[in-house]
Amino acid sequence: MPHIRGKRMLYVIIILIASIWLSSCAASGNGQTSGSPAPADSGPSGTHQDQEPAHDDEPDTEDPSAEPDQDQGQDTDDANSEADAPGDVDPSDHTVGEAEGQTDYEAIRARYDISDPDSIAVLVNKTYGLPADYEPDDLVKVAIPFVYQDETVHSLRQIAADALIEMFAAAKEDGLELAGVSGYRSYAIQKMLYEKYVARDGEEAANKYSAKPGHSEHSTGLAMDVAGISGKCAANNCFAGTPEALWLAEHAHEYGFIIRYPLGKEDITGYQYEPWHLRYVGTELAAILYENDWTMEEFFLNET
Ligand code: DAL
Ligand code: ZN
């Protein structure tokens, strides 16, 4: 019996050795099915590991830095994506600049007609004038207090009158009562005024504060000279620095008005500083001119 038991033991040992050998062959030759990590390029056998590199490629198409080449010039939204990509913004790229929130002034300029007397953007200065017979067809007497009771200069075009009334109400809320001095002036009235000033101060001096007939903004129906309710310093240099003048400089644009002849821009506008001369241009233009400290000449003629 011990002999037979010894033979069985030998078979068992042989089988064990054979099993170990077979298993070691399998591990070194066809490892795809083993639990050991497979290299990424381990062959087209459809394993999970094989699919991962394809998945890893996807971020390349989602990478914002890849988008500009694909989408350049297609539309604004895509340009926005471009600008958002860190390090991708080229300051010389006009499209990118717009996408960043910069205003497209060229496009805004193109929407206004500075040569149409009926346009709220009509440009009237020493170079650009109005037809002698121009008279707006929507003039209304403005329902505000006036310093002088001569009603011939109490009118404005409807849109400017409405805005002025709103602005006066806002100033009153802030504790400042304003009054009108002079609004729409016909060609004939402007002629009479200009000639009076030339006779009084001489042409050179008059030209610094009074427009020749046909060249006054007052004849557009979009300009109003404004003073404090007392009338003190009305259309006079001493209006500068008053609480009313400071309030107008700060808030007029909110109602579509600009201080048309600002301090320091005399060479551009052709006129002395007139903190009282309010010109209606609408809230869009007024905000642009206010925020950039531009005159109408700078915005419309200098290609800013
Ligand atoms: N005071 C301005 C320039 C005018 O006369 O229209
Ligand atoms: Zn004026």
How far apart CA 116 and CA 76 sit, in angstroms, is: 32
Q: Determine whether the shortest distance from the Cβ of 67 to ligand 1 is under 6 A.
A: no
Q: What residue segments make up the domains of the chain, in order of their start?
A: 111-301
Q: In what order do the strands lie in the sheet with 257-261?
A: 178-182, 223-228, 274-280, 257-261
How much is the pLDDT for 160? 99
Largest CA distance in the chain: 151
Domain spanning 111-301: CATH 3.30.1380.10: yes
Given a cut of 90, whether residue 41 has pLDDT beyond it is: no
- From the CB of residue 154, how many other CB atoms can be counted at a distance below 10 Å? 22
Point out which residues pair with 146 in neighbouring strands.
180
pLDDT tens, residue by residue, 190-221: 999 999 999 999 999 999 999 999 999 999 99
- CB of 155 within 6 A of ligand 1: the answer is no
Kindly give the number of the ligand 1 atom that is closest to the alpha carbon of 211. Answer: 5
Q: For 57-75, write each residue's pLDDT tens digit.
A: 332 333 323 222 333 333 3
CA dihedral for 173, 176, 177, 183, sign (positive or negative): negative
Q: How far apart are CA 233 and CA 228, in angstroms?
A: 8
Q: What is the pLDDT of residues 108-161, one digit of tens each?
A: 999 999 999 999 999 999 999 999 999 999 999 999 999 999 999 999 999 999
